[in-house]
Amino acid sequence: MKKACLILVVAITLVLLLPCVKAAESNAEGIEEFNNFKHFDRRENLIHILTELIPELQHLPEDPAYVKKEEMITWGYELRLPHEEPDEGYRESIRAMIRSMTESTVFTIDGVPVPHDKWHYSDAYFFKAYDHDGDGPGDGDGDGIGDLGPSYLWAFRCSAKLTTGTHIWTYVDPYMGRSDSGTVVVS
């Protein structure tokens, strides 16, 4: 009888912990996608687009970005939908939105559309907290860029190496009604 009760308690505990494990797996899947861009405020080759939509990023200089020849440039931004707990149904609705965004988005460099295999929107991942600029808990370096609370996040990323010279990039997402453009100087 005691053994059966113990097995029942263990089974119930595992069932209760399953959502936490799924959230941790979700973070593990997406963490590299997000970590590779965290120091956008300190590295010229990481260009955070749509900064005018994010109050804590409006102080960042946008143009031009100065990048060394042969250095990989990554453009990106994160989209956030606050949510207190992981919810697979909610995540699926975000995934449908991501598919629509992917179908309508155009990213160009010097007026030439960048092929879809060179840019993407990540999957949606649940984060209990997200350190937006990689400076530690809160606003670790006092630059006004703090952490984000419980949310589903997904990201836009485009990477390219550009030739020496001045280049103009544009991002247009008709689905969300967002656009941005800027200049990169490669030397």
Q: Report the alpha-carbon distance of residue 161 to residue 88 in Å, rounded.
A: 37
Name the residue range of residue 172's domain. Answer: 2-186
pLDDT bucket at 18, cuts 50 / 70 / 90: very low
Q: How many CB atoms lie within 10 A of CB 11?
A: 10
Residue 69 has what pLDDT? 94
Encoding tokens for residue 42? 């300190």
Q: pLDDT tens-digit profile of 25-41?
A: 444 455 676 778 878 87
Pairing of strands 106-109, 46-48: unpaired
Q: pTM, whole model, 2 decimals?
A: 0.77
Q: How many domains does the chain have?
A: 1
Q: Report the alpha-carbon distance of residue 97 to residue 23 in Å, rounded.
A: 20
Is the CB of residue 27 less than 8 Å from the CB of residue 126?
A: yes
DSSP β-bridge partners for residue 183: 168
